[in-house]
Amino acid sequence: MMRKYWVRSFVMAALFGAAMPAFAAEITSPAKQAYVSDFATGKVLFSKNADAPMKPASMAKIMTVFVAFQRIADGQLGMDDKFTISEKAWKKGGSRTFLEVGKTVSVRELLHGIIVQSGNDAAIVLAEGISGTENAFADEMNFWAKNIGMKNTNFRNST
């Protein structure tokens, strides 16, 4: 009895599946560059000017946060560690968290400022606090970028 049920179910599924046309959604984007892949398989689903050079804008801040979390995972940095706001960070334009020069801020607050507010000032403070200078931090960003497969990426700063 069980075998009949299984065979009947298989035949119905095969017929139903054959009657349904297979549609693949076409991905389009007005963006100048785009890259979409299936994380599980690595298959590229959509690519548009993927190797064309571009300014990463706030994407650099994602790598800044990534490096910070690597340091936290390695035990080299704690969420309650504090860094002092430099004049360079305080003067930085663009998206800001409005940190005050000379004040100290925790890593937790800096990460919040970068992730939620896209704060350039918070990213610079974190970079300087972790590596001493933003240039040295950019070297670490590039190290990690290469390690995770970002072959055509070159970061110059934390923002």
Q: Which of 48, 58, 82, 88 is catalytic?
A: 58
Residue 6 has pLDDT above 70, yes or no: no
Residue 121 contacts residue 113 (beta carbons within 8 Å): yes
Residue 121 has pLDDT above 90, yes or no: yes
Q: Which of 48, 88, 106, 118 is catalytic?
A: 118
The predicted pLDDT at position 3 comes to 44
Residue 100 has pLDDT above 90, yes or no: yes
Residue 9 has pLDDT above 60, yes or no: no
Task: Specify the higher pLDDT residue, 49 or 57.
Answer: 49
Catalytic site includes residue 58: yes
Lowest mean pLDDT: which of 36-50, 68-82, 106-120?
A: 36-50
pLDDT tens track for 23-41: 456 878 898 988 888 889 9
Cα separation of 123 and 114, whole Å? 6
Beta bridge partners, 82, equal 106
Cα separation of 1 and 142, whole Å? 63
CB atoms within 10 A of CB 1: 5
Cα–Cα distances in angstroms (integers) from residue 45 to residues 22, 26, 150, in the given order? 16, 9, 18
The predicted pLDDT at position 4 comes to 45
Lowest mean pLDDT: which of 20-24, 63-67, 83-87, 151-155?
A: 20-24
Residue 89 has pLDDT above 90, yes or no: yes
Catalytic site includes residue 118: yes
Nearest to 86 by CA among 140, 139, 125, 143: 125
Pull the structure tokens for residue 133: 């200078």
> What is the value of pTM for the model shown?
0.72
CB atoms within 10 A of CB 156: 13
Residue 18 has pLDDT above 70, yes or no: no
The predicted pLDDT at position 53 comes to 84
Catalytic site includes residue 95: no
Beta bridge partners, 34, equal 48
Q: Which of 48, 55, 61, 151 is catalytic?
A: 61
The predicted pLDDT at position 25 comes to 67
Average pLDDT across the chain, whole number: 85
